[in-house]
Amino acid sequence: MSYENLAGRTAVVTGAASGIGEAVAVVLAAQGARVALLARRRERLDAVVEKIRADGGQAVAVAADVTDDGSVDAAVERIHAEYGAADLVVNAAGVMLPHPVDDGRIDEWRRMIDTNVTGVLRMIRAFTGDLLAAAAAGRAADLVNISSVGAHLTFPTYAVYGATKAALTHLSATLRSEFGPRDVRVTNIEPGLTATELASHIDDAQREFIDGMVDTMGALSAQDVADLVAYVGSRPRHVNLRQIMVLPTRQA
Ligand code: NDP
């Protein structure tokens, strides 16, 4: 697929070591954007960057932890030194750690909130100046947050994950009221089941639930979601797709 208006953009993609973030980085680079890839696993980022460069794209690997202020500050410095200001920021980093609430896993609650909510806020704080400046200069400027259909559904054991995604969906909607009048687009994407590494961090019992859903409903590919990010970023700058829910056709 080919999209106009992405060539020459400077993108920052979190969660780019795998899954949706990786696919977003690859598709944006294939369309001519310069892409900074953020995640914690440096070797995975290096492999994706190598693949992008081999295909003629421009990309840089920036190992960073979005839950750590200092790590994000250093990443921003590095990106600005390599590429200058960003005009397309995609927050795809996220973790999903389901457990019954009465297990009291405050460690996992903290990790999900720190990554899925505060991590996104750290990135927004870091790049708001860049996005506003790009928009003020008459260029397209995009903030894209990967939330989840889980923001709206209720599943046992997913209370805290769902709450982090509901917070992100609300944050995206509310940010439009601050950024929209200054020509920065904000897009919230809510995927349903997507085949990635997301469920690889959870224990076997919890994973059976996901596997059962995939058996019944199938799953999107990371590429399916990445195509939407490219579509959103390639619209004329007065067009803002604010909210997209994308599901496997069989997912209710
Ligand atoms: P993956 O597990 O494949 O991707 C998550 C990415 O986030 C990894 O690249 C991981 O890399 C990165 N990451 C995790 N923690 C941090 C951190 N502290 N700092 C920086 N990077 C971090 O799963 P998905 O691609 O599925 O997930 C992407 C987003 O999509 C998530 O926000 C998820 O909630 C959302 N989503 C996924 C759905 C699905 O069914 N898969 C459905 C709906 C939404 P590393 O470990 O190297 O840091």
| pLDDT at res. 230 | 98
What residue ranges do the domains of the chain occupy? 10-246
Grade residue 100 by pLDDT with cuts at 50, 70 and 90.
Answer: very high
Q: In what order do the strands lie in the sheet with 88-91?
A: 58-63, 34-39, 10-14, 88-91, 142-146, 185-191, 243-246
| pLDDT at res. 35 | 98
pLDDT at 208 over 90: no
Show the CA angle centred on residue 126, arms to residues 190 and 55, nearest 5°.
65
Mean pLDDT in residue range 213-218: 92
Grade residue 203 by pLDDT with cuts at 50, 70 and 90.
Answer: confident
| pLDDT at res. 61 | 98
- Going from the C-alpha of 184 to that of each of 26, 69, 88, 143, 191, the distances in angstroms are 23, 24, 10, 7, 22
- Cα separation, 88 vs 144, whole angstroms: 8
Grade residue 3 by pLDDT with cuts at 50, 70 and 90.
Answer: confident
| pLDDT at res. 45 | 98
Best of 66, 89, 96 for a ligand 1 pocket test (most atoms within 8 Å of beta carbon): 96
Kindly give the number of the ligand 1 atom that is closest to the alpha carbon of 71: 19
Give CA 240 to chain center in angstroms: 17
Best of 18, 22, 149, 210 for a ligand 1 pocket test (most atoms within 8 Å of beta carbon): 18
Mean pLDDT in residue range 71-83: 98
**CATH code reported for the domain at 10-246:** 3.40.50.720
The rounded Å distance from CA 63 to ligand 1 centre is 14
- Cα separation, 237 vs 134, whole angstroms: 11
The rounded Å distance from CA 95 to ligand 1 centre is 6
pLDDT at 24 over 80: yes
The rounded Å distance from CA 197 to ligand 1 centre is 8
Pocket residues: Cβ below 6 A from ligand 1: 14-15, 17-21, 38-41, 44, 65-67, 92-96, 115, 119, 146, 148, 191, 193-194, 196-198, 222
- Going from the C-alpha of 53 to that of each of 17, 29, 31, 180, 237, the distances in angstroms are 15, 9, 13, 34, 28
The rounded Å distance from CA 181 to ligand 1 centre is 30
Residue 168 tokens read as 């992100």
Grade residue 205 by pLDDT with cuts at 50, 70 and 90.
Answer: confident
Helix (H, G, I), strand (E, B) or coil at 225: helix
pLDDT at 1 over 90: no
| pLDDT at res. 188 | 98
| pLDDT at res. 130 | 98
Kindly give the number of the ligand 1 atom that is closest to the alpha carbon of 222: 25
Residues belonging to the active site: 161
Show the CA angle centred on residue 116, arms to residues 111 and 121, nearest 5°.
115
Per residue in 133-168, pLDDT (tens digit) is 999 999 999 999 999 999 999 989 999 999 999 999
| pLDDT at res. 224 | 98
Best of 40, 67, 76 for a ligand 1 pocket test (most atoms within 8 Å of beta carbon): 40
The rounded Å distance from CA 201 to ligand 1 centre is 10
Phi then psi for 141, rounded to 5 degrees?
Answer: -140, 125
Bridge partners (DSSP) listed for residue 59 = 35
Per residue in 41-68, pLDDT (tens digit) is 999 999 999 999 999 999 999 999 999 9
Grade residue 88 by pLDDT with cuts at 50, 70 and 90.
Answer: very high
Question: For 26-177, where are the E strands, in sequence order?
Answer: 34-39, 58-63, 88-91, 142-146
Percentage of the residues of the chain whose pLDDT score is greater than 90 = 91
Kindly give the number of the ligand 1 atom that is closest to the alpha carbon of 116: 32
| pTM across the whole model | 0.98
**Residues near 242 by beta carbon (within 8 Å), at least 6 away in sequence:** 172, 173, 176, 186, 187, 188
Kindly give the number of the ligand 1 atom that is closest to the alpha carbon of 200: 2
